[in-house]
Chain A
């Protein structure tokens, strides 16, 4: 495509692409996100390509970014009806082309089926999607992320044209502040306030950074945004650079994200070609370009000062902020850092306006950007729920709605599994128990509940989860990932890990709980950076809401979640066992013996407590004993 000479010319180009896109055209979109590719989407795509070629068909085939419902991948959506096919295999391709494309017939076996065996035809009716509000993800699934034309056809870069034409930099910042947009990378700091202090800071050049380090295990929304719609991040950054007066941008991207990197590099190249990046963007006197930096891999590198050290080529460890990084950041120059999702929110805000954005979410931000949480947040829903994946929801939604409406409830509820808690906010988030399921969640409410928004991780836990073990797991993760610089974080985590390691083995003492609380309280006020300051959350929140579980481990050697290997014993109940022999056949150590149609018995010497027998038994005959009954 040709270089575009002015914002007005850009509007014309957008119009041309919009007009050329026929919304009623039959389109097959095959998800090409990392999740779907892992489950075989590449071969599904290839099969569509070759079959369409064979049939000489003019049907449009689209490889899109992540739809969020990766668990059910590979996903295929047929437009304009929006028919969603899940777990599609290459061998289904012919049938889809013949029946659905050829005859308008829906193939029931490929539809999504919920726990109650209801099937859903259209993507937007599937409960997982129905309750979402997709702003950042609006185009994921509708555009081919490798084609800038697709983004333009959806009105992409329209916000940039509008801003360059009519809106002064100060006014852009004012709008971002008024929108109440708060940082999606974890801290929830109002983006407009940060932009303003960077704009007002002395020194040049000024830098902006997109934090795409995404270190929280289980979170992958930033990856999906970059893979599915890289131009939205780039457009947000160009608008930010114009508003702040920055001339250089960096995307600090996690090394483990090769596909996102590829899509981003490709998108940057396209944007440069059109004159959307580089010197004199669209003929204006705004000049700005973006460089990609690949992350060092450590969790702590996502912390803003550590990240800047890493870009400067030093070891990524948090450093002393004598002044805010907005004033003295990269190489001592004014620097504004925002998260991927924060940047991707900018174009819709500039395009659709402040009033629209503030109509979504909680609180009142008209006079105070801290007064609420506006817009949506993408959560990464995982754990013991039926539907896992990425959900974009309005701020203020309840956890119940996410877990039960979108998530489809607790997995294996027919086997008696029930909800116990949800852990939000990544490794240093907290566990929220059932009594808060209906609280409207946003930045401040999650913090109030002893957890945090973090990057939007959400792990659902059922009654077979030991909350002491949960705390131990996250403490051990953080113990490895702490940068080791300051005493409270490094030594506090070491001590917590030792204590929790004993409690889960049934070797805890009552005094341990006091010590845990003392350590937690010091870590939470005296650590150097936010990793250490929040690292005690898993311990504090489980001690607060699930103290009895700690006490049971200590007093009775009982693990309520039946998870702690040293405190449990698998047995088979006489009442329920039908002697079907399934468990005996599946047990990896051959610890189960018994004749057909008679009671089976577990040899405790051989049992490694893997739980396979319980998983496979169809008669609920396996019981896990713990505490005195063991």
Chain B
């Protein structure tokens, strides 16, 4: 066990975990915009600044909790004046970039950021990179890309054209911390990043599924155990099936061996 202090309180940390994970596990809140537990930390937004002491840290060094691996004897302070000053400047930068985000406005209220002194832009994306990373690391579609450099950096489908490799899983829209990726769903289609996909229908009842042909194909290439019938049945029907099976079991119409099949 590794011993780490957060705000003076001694905590037991697991080897290899980050300060952000340790803090979250113990009920501390560290603001963050580019972290998600299912992805490798990237350290892009810089909102999760903390102050570190001990364990070879330079005096008063600030660093990001999401990329900081715990070390024996480390002391972490979450809300020092230095931390909150720089965090607010970063938040101010983001709010100048994306002026109308409720998520950022709420953060500003929470952390006492009163005034945006910088010239305001009219973007909607805070450039955290989560969409590109989830599409790459978790979905495996690699439909999106970080393109350009400097202030021109964008997180979009390549060349900002309807993405060829997208499967309309909508994970990116779900993970986006400022909810800026629009998804349009009708009974027959899902539209995301300017591309319209047909929705598959439940093979039992015909209800529209949150699934596309493309998504199903991708999932099956990524896992050889999956079969179409595992995917193309709606929740209601599969629940019904489970219930039906259980009922037959209780009634003694089938035996456990048959369920296994």
Contacts and interface: CB of A to CB of B under 8 A. Distances in A.
A495 B150 CA distance: 12
A515 interface: yes
Interface string A294-331: 00001010000000000000010100101000000000
A519 interface: yes
A298 B86 CA distance: 28
Contacts of A317: 146
A484 B146 contact: yes
B129 A485 contact: yes
B44 A518 contact: no
A487 B69 contact: no
B148 A484 contact: yes
Contact of B151 (A298, A493, A528): A493
Contact of B46 (A298, A484, A521, A527): A527
A427 interface: no
B183 interface: no
Contacts of A525: 62, 82, 86
Interface residues of B, number: 35
A486 interface: yes
Given A479-B150, A481-B149, A527-B46, A320 B41 contact: yes
Nearest to A494: B151
Contacts of B90: 487-488, 491, 522, 526
Interface stretch (B91-99, B187-195, B201-209): B91-99
Interface centre among B46, B97, B117, B126 (most CB of A within 10 A): B46
Category for how many chain A residues contact B: 35 or more
Interface in B227-248: none
Interface in B69-84: 69, 82
Contact of B45 (A486, A495, A519): A486
Nearest to B16: A322
A305 B86 CA distance: 25
A300 B117 CA distance: 29
Contacts of B119: 495, 498
A478 B151 CA distance: 10
B67 interface: yes
A320 B43 contact: yes
A480 B62 contact: no
A515 B117 contact: yes
B127 interface: yes
A491 B150 CA distance: 9
A505 to B, nearest CB: 14
B153 A518 contact: no
Nearest to B33: A487
A486 B44 contact: yes
B217 interface: no
Interface in A514-542: 515, 518-519, 521-522, 525-528
B10 interface: no
Interface in B147-164: 148-153
Task: Please list the 10 inter-chain residue pairs (A to B) with the smallest Cβ-Cβ separation, ordered nearest first.
Answer: A484-B153, A491-B93, A522-B89, A494-B151, A482-B150, A495-B118, A522-B86, A498-B119, A526-B46, A480-B150
Interface of B: 40-47, 49, 62, 64, 67, 69, 82, 85-86, 89-90, 93-94, 96-97, 117-119, 126-127, 129, 146, 148-153
